[in-house]
Amino acid sequence: AQKITQTQPGMFVQEKEAVTLDCTYDTSDQSYGLFWYKQPSSGEMIFLIYQGSYDEQNATEGRYSLNFQKARKSANLVISASQLGDSAMYFCAMREGLNTGTASKLTFGTGTRLQVTL
């Protein structure tokens, strides 16, 4: 089974509108972290936001918020007031086993390409 599933290959949003990018995950660990990264056409991977499995509140970073629904194993990224510069690939990722001393890798989804239009 896929550890991270991003079902939207591509999304369009109008400038200044909000958009939600979906991410579901699969893990049996109790302690894990969920991340979102942005990859513009230039190629770099930019960290956006982090949510720990024990965090009670949804994470927010400026215009980014993470809608964390633990029971549904979903960690959707919400971008408010979209800007043209938000056009990019967005990757959801997970680190498992955070409390075991063995957490290491990030497991990534396949990404969602977001296009912001005028």
Partner 1 sequence: DSGVTQTPKHLITATGQRVTLRCSPRSGDLSVYWYQQSLDQGLQFLIHYYNGEERAKGNILERFSAQQFPDLHSELNLSSLELGDSALYFCASSPRPTGYTQYFGPGTRLTVL
User: Which of 118, 102, 109 has the alpha carbon at shortest distance from 37?
Assistant: 109
Q: Give the per-residue contact string, 55-74, with partner 1 (x = CB under 8 A; - = no).
A: --------------------
Q: Closer CB to partner 1, residue 12 or residue 54?
A: 54
Grouping H, G, I as helix, E, B as strand and the rest as coil, residue 106 is: coil
In the list 20, 22, 108, 113, the residue contacting partner 1 (rule: CB under 8 A) is 108
Asked if residue 33 binds partner 1 (CB under 8 A), the reply is yes
Specify whether the CB–CB gap between 103 and 95 falls below 8 A: yes
Q: Is residue 47 at the binding interface for partner 1, with CB under 8 A as the rule?
A: yes
Q: Which two tokens stand for residue 77?
A: 């990224």
